[in-house]
Structure 1
Amino acid sequence: MGKFTVFLEKKVSSPMARLAEQRHLLAIRDGVISSLPFIIVGSFFLLIASPPLPEAWAITQWATEHAAEILIPYRMTMFIMSLYVAFGIGYNLAKSYKVDPLSGAQIAVASLLLTITPTVIEELGFVLPMQYLGGSGLFVTIIVSIISVEIFRICKQKEITIKLPEAVPASVSRSFEALIPVAIVIVLMTIITVVMGINLHVVIEKLVAPIITAGDSLLGVLVPVFLITFFWSFGIHGVSVVGSVARPVWEVYLLNNAEAASAGASSLPHVAPEPLYQWFIWVGGSGATLGLVIVMLIFSRSKYLKNLGRTVSIPSLFNINEPVMFGLPIVLNPILIIPFIVTPLVLTIVSYLATSLGLVSPTFIKAPWTLPAPIGAYLATGGDWRSIILVLINIAISVVIYFPFFKIYDKKMHALEQGEDTIS
């Protein structure tokens, strides 16, 4: 068992750790994360516009009548999330290259806006369509943001910039340093969008259509769940790695569901926005470790595990499970890795089928991830009480799966505490 652990640590953990630190993946991850406050706050206006209350209540009738006004903050935040993401990606990627991050962020935003052709509406003049500034524009946002910052970096490294005397204020000097890269990006994007008449959003949408379709299938949910827990088994933040690639797809699902909900649709188009993972699969954190914590509290014979269970119970209730991951530990623990990977896969199947069969409403609201799972699930589904039942069922399933493996590990730990030598 020890040799197997060493093999995993040397041959698997190290390469995966390097992947997790890849510059562009980190910039995408941090760029999307930087927009989360706007997404979370904006999504709650969907809940206000369609409160989970009886239709006969006065507040529900008021919300229905004023839905258009209530949803304006949503339109200016979550609905145009790509604008915020572009700024975040540009800022973080430029910062990683040690070039001016503010200039990198602004260049990325300009590049995104130049992929959209304004239209002229009588009495309003030029109007910028907002549809490509939402989740559907995330893929283009990622591509043009990275390309724009790379152009900025190359110009800086090759000294293709305008240099001003040292006496000039730093803010002015940085602006002129970005002048040539900005000109290159603007001309490039103008040629593509205006001269050549290419709608990058339509092109990319066709290219990623198979990914969007596949990601909303049961297999498309099982694969990222497996990869996240697989990476975590070696101490690598699985959501950071997999989320950098998958989150744009998840955000497209979330925005499509949110838009359908805001339009009063009777059914939502997608099963698998990120809140599906957050509230029904990662109950207590990656690996659905709340069930493991419950087992620790009730069945531990080992004093260490019993005390650890008490210590981590509150954080786990709020989906903070690093103390469990590294305190138990689960990381590089051949016994507990098995249920750590298997449990979320089982919960994925249960939750996906429950949602796709209409037993529970699909998620369309981004609730803060530190809420206890039943509350978060209730909010994310727009107030569907059945989501609470599904969360409780999933917790029970996780307890059952973790129990036999934990008992094996608890026996080993208890034997160690008793000073026994023959425990392997």
Structure 2
Amino acid sequence: MNEKFMAFMENKMMPIMAKVSANRYLNSIKDAFVLATPFIIIGSFALLLFNLPLQDPNNFLYFKPYDNFVKAFASDYLQIHAVSMGLMSLYVAFGVGFSLAGYYNSDKVTNGLLSLYAFLLVSAKSLATTIVGAASNLLFVEEETSIAILDGRYMDAKGLFVAIIVGILSVEISRFLVNKKLTIKLPDSVPPAISKSFEILIPVAVISIVFQIINVIIQKNMLVMLPDLIMVIFQPLLNLSDGLVSIIIILFLIHILWFCGLHGANIINPVVMVISMTNLAINQQALANGEAIPKILAGEFMNNFVYFGGSGSTLGFCIALLMVKNAHLKSIGKLAIIPGCFNINEPIMFGVPIVMNPIFAIPFILTPIINAIISYTFMKLNIVGKVVALTPWTTPPALGGFMASNLNFAAPILVICLIILDYIIYKPFLNMYIKELEKEETKS
């Protein structure tokens, strides 16, 4: 049975997944989020800094100096959140174009700006408005001053889907025109910087016309903006994705791929990141408004509450390795324990190994699913706080859960309990593997 399964995975599934892993569009989306992540993390913690659960006088955690601090500084310094999380789609739009251009050996910066331009064209209506009241003081202008503004409603996570779609299309249109020589070519004597700016003129003009026509048709006939229309189309996906069944399917796919030697997270995460970042923005808006936090699959939910030690939740397994008598496996445990505390588990994946090892297939695939079921249930019952801040994926598990859930004390307790459970799940399979190794040593 094991041999048939392994043969099926090697001959049928791995070639397909290898192609998916190499897909330029998925990789461009992944790269875009990597570029945006530092800004999103800082923006998340700026919001968190002014929304800690220390302001309610009826709560035993109430801390008056903190309450005064928030009232004095929140209105000024939440600007950090507004131009990071609040402009997430801008960074992603640029990142998609920048990364995708690299696969075509095109100018990355030019295509990144082209993608950003196309996104703003369909997502940010411009208008003039008269400033009155408190807004005049905030913007340092006199009352009744008329200023030009861009609609920023879709520059946060609500514009992510359209940022990705438009970013890809703009690069493909530009590439098509360049390949067909539909560009302005200046003599070689012209400086390269000037020549390059003229070469992109026709693609910019075509993209302007194409997207603006689409824009006008949608606005005049449907009375909505393009991001609204895209969100309506993808809303069922967002609703389904936050369900336990969807999370289990995602985890199953990631770990099947990992077991076959492919980086499952890198293959699946481009899609998951769009969903989790959109949900994170929804949670942060709820936090800022003092509302109940609605979404579970948000931000780094997987790294904070599922992947303790990396894919497969191998930190518990790593602890088990430290306790065995087998010298080889114990040495791997010693080598892997520090990286494992930061969610890096390649020493275990390829050192034990777990990859392509039938004995560890069951715990490797099922352990993160069990963690997800328990974490999801506790969050659904509001026993553990949901994710409202983006932490670096290398943040140690208990600390990551504590920070991501707005300093919810139940979160690290849950994480520690789950790591112990993971140890218990992996232990009998590790004992089985040790016996197999001893048999092989006896034969030799």
Q: Could you tell me how far apart the structure 2 residues matched to 1:69 and 1:269 are?
A: 27
Q: Could you tell me how far apart the structure 2 residues matched to 1:195 and 1:164 are?
A: 36
Which of 114, 117, 122 lines up with 2:130 in the alignment? 122
1:239, CA displacement in angstroms?
A: 1.3
Distance 1:196-1:348 versus aligned 2 partners, 3 A rule? closer
Which of 386, 394, 402 lines up with 1:362 in the alignment? 386
Are 2:93 and 2:164, in contact at CA under 8 Å, matched by a contact in 1? yes
- Give the corresponding residue for 2:134: none
- Give the corresponding residue for 1:322: 346
Q: Could you tell me how far apart the structure 2 residues matched to 1:357 and 1:162 are?
A: 62
User: SS state of the match for residue 19, structure 2?
Assistant: helix
User: SS state of the match for residue 370, structure 2?
Assistant: helix
Q: Map 1:253-402 to 2 at 5 A.
A: 253-265=279-291, 267-298=292-323, 300-402=324-426
Cα deviation digits, residues 20-54 of structure 1 (max 9, x gap): 10111111111111100110111110121123543
2:99 counterpart letter in structure 1: N
1:47 counterpart letter in structure 2: L
Q: Map 1:69-84 to 2 at 5 A.
A: 69-84=76-91
Residue 167 (1) aligns with residue 209 (2): no
1:271, CA displacement in angstroms?
A: 1.4
Cα deviation digits, residues 248-271 of structure 1 (max 9, x gap): 111110011112112222x11211
Q: Could you tell me how far apart the structure 2 residues matched to 1:97 and 1:321 are?
A: 33
User: SS state of the match for residue 442, structure 2?
Assistant: coil
2:30 counterpart letter in structure 1: R
Residue 181 (1) aligns with residue 203 (2): yes
Which of 98, 107, 123 lines up with 1:100 in the alignment? 107
1:94, CA displacement in angstroms?
A: 0.9
User: SS state of the match for residue 312, structure 2?
Assistant: coil
Q: Could you tell me how far apart the structure 2 residues matched to 1:119 and 1:394 are?
A: 53
Q: Could you tell me how far apart the structure 2 residues matched to 1:347 and 1:186 are?
A: 48
Higher relative contact order (CA 8 A, sep 6+): 1
Are 2:299 and 2:389, in contact at CA under 8 Å, matched by a contact in 1? no
- Give the corresponding residue for 2:268: 242
TM-score, length of structure 1 as denominator length: 0.95
Are 1:48 and 1:70, in contact at CA under 8 Å, matched by a contact in 2? no
Q: Could you tell me how far apart the structure 1 residues matched to 2:405 and 2:176 are?
A: 46
- Give the corresponding residue for 1:44: 45
Q: Name structure 1 gaps, 5 residues minimum.
A: none
Residue identity over aligned pairs, in percent, reads 36
Distance 1:323-1:64 versus aligned 2 partners, 3 A rule? farther
Which of 171, 179, 199 lines up with 1:149 in the alignment? 171
Q: Could you tell me how far apart the structure 2 residues matched to 1:3 and 1:228 are?
A: 21
Are 1:361 and 1:384, in contact at CA under 8 Å, matched by a contact in 2? yes
Which of 65, 69, 77 lines up with 1:58 in the alignment? 65
Are 1:82 and 1:135, in contact at CA under 8 Å, matched by a contact in 2? yes
Q: Name structure 2 gaps, 5 residues minimum.
A: 55-60, 132-145
1:127, CA displacement in angstroms?
A: 1.9
Query: May I ask how many residue pairs the two structures share in their alignment?
Result: 418
User: SS state of the match for residue 443, structure 2?
Assistant: coil
Q: Could you tell me how far apart the structure 1 residues matched to 2:274 and 2:154 are?
A: 13
- Give the corresponding residue for 1:113: 120
Q: Could you tell me how far apart the structure 2 residues matched to 1:220 and 1:7 are?
A: 25
Are 2:313 and 2:368, in contact at CA under 8 Å, matched by a contact in 1? yes
Residue 89 (1) aligns with residue 96 (2): yes
2:268 counterpart letter in structure 1: V
CA RMSD of aligned residues (A): 1.5
Are 2:218 and 2:225, in contact at CA under 8 Å, matched by a contact in 1? no
User: SS state of the match for residue 122, structure 1?
Assistant: strand
User: SS state of the match for residue 130, structure 1?
Assistant: coil
Q: Could you tell me how far apart the structure 2 residues matched to 1:373 and 1:186 are?
A: 46
- Give the corresponding residue for 2:58: none
1:393, CA displacement in angstroms?
A: 1.4
TM-score, length of structure 2 as denominator length: 0.91
- Give the corresponding residue for 1:137: 159
- Give the corresponding residue for 2:135: none
